[in-house]
Amino acid sequence: MIFAANFKTNHTRASTKEYLLALESLAQKSSDEFYIFPPISALCSSASKITIGSQNAYPVNNGAFTGEIGLEQLEEFGIKTILIGHSERRVLLGESQEFIAKKFEFFKNNDFKIIYCIGEPLEVRKEGELKVIEFLAEQFNAIDINYENLIIAYEPIWAIGTGVSATNDQIALTHKAIKKICNKPLLYGGSVNSSNIKNVLATQNVDGVLVGSASLDVQNFFNLSK
């Protein structure tokens, strides 16, 4: 199973370092895969058991893009993994599907492992499963769904950071439909925590989880894999 932690705008460079040391020792005997996405100020090289990825980057080597980092800054830490399409970047930061597809193409051409996030807002979910799938299908526009280094994360926006996870039936139905569009490892994300993890992982077509809040404490995050 894949366990990915998205710290978002949490943790410092110092606390990330402690976290990674602790996780490295906890995960020593684990056969699961761990990915950590720390804030950009805490990027560092991957350790043997844990892959470090970037929550974001601009699709350039370097240049005049105030506030952004590019490939050159990621290469300094040997980062080869990136999250693309997270709903917080789509909604709060206004990233369009066109721009997201450009980012995807750039990092694909640089052989990155891409965790590509998709998810619908509540008003679409309320219209039913068919509308949800139509909405998600559009988030694959101009995306190379056959890219070999691709992992998909389905994260319904209404479930992110709300404490209200999708139900098992919703996850099962939606994941089945996504797998038909794109047959890649598929993570579920959105209020995954110690109470629902067993059910989420037992759901068909779930290959792992992308976790925000419940990943911030290292023991809590590791326990999700036990």
Look up residue 49 and give its two tokens: 């058991």
Residue 33 touching ligand PGA (CB under 6 A): no
Query: Rounded to an integer, what is the distance from CA 109 to the centroid of its chain?
Result: 19
Interacting residue with ligand PGA among 27, 206, 210, 224 (CB under 6 A): 210
**Segment interacting with ligand PGA, rule: CB under 6 A, options 21-29, 122-130, 153-161, 173-181:** 153-161
For ligand PGA, how many residues bind (rule: CB under 6 A)? 13
CA dist 224 and 226 (Å) reads: 6
Residue 53 touching ligand PGA (CB under 6 A): no
Residue 205 touching ligand PGA (CB under 6 A): no
Question: Shortest approach of ligand PGA to residue 137 CB, angstroms?
Answer: 21
Whether 201 contacts 211, CB under 8 Å? no
Instruction: Reduce the DSSP state of residue 80 to 3 states and report it.
Output: coil
Say whether 155 is catalytic.
yes
**Segment interacting with ligand PGA, rule: CB under 6 A, options 99-107, 135-143, 168-176, 211-219:** 211-219
Residue 118 touching ligand PGA (CB under 6 A): no
Say whether 175 is catalytic.
no
Interacting residue with ligand PGA among 12, 13, 142, 161 (CB under 6 A): 161
Q: Which of 11, 33, 86, 175 is catalytic?
A: 86
CA dist 20 and 189 (Å) reads: 21
Cβ neighbors of 145 (< 8 A, separation 6 or more) are 181, 182, 184
x/- track of binding to ligand PGA for residues 162-201 (CB under 6 A): ---------------------------xxxx---------
Helix segments in 182-216, DSSP class H: 197-202
**Segment interacting with ligand PGA, rule: CB under 6 A, options 19-27, 98-106, 170-178, 204-212:** 204-212
CA dist 7 and 15 (Å) reads: 11
Whether 152 contacts 116, CB under 8 Å? yes
CA dist 175 and 112 (Å) reads: 24
Determine the residue with CB nearest ligand PGA: 212
Interacting residue with ligand PGA among 2, 6, 124, 139 (CB under 6 A): 6
CA dist 20 and 49 (Å) reads: 10
Cβ neighbors of 165 (< 8 A, separation 6 or more) are 159, 190, 191, 192, 193, 196, 200
Binding residues vs ligand PGA (CB under 6 A): 6, 155, 160-161, 189-192, 210-214
- As annotated, the active-site residues are 86, 155
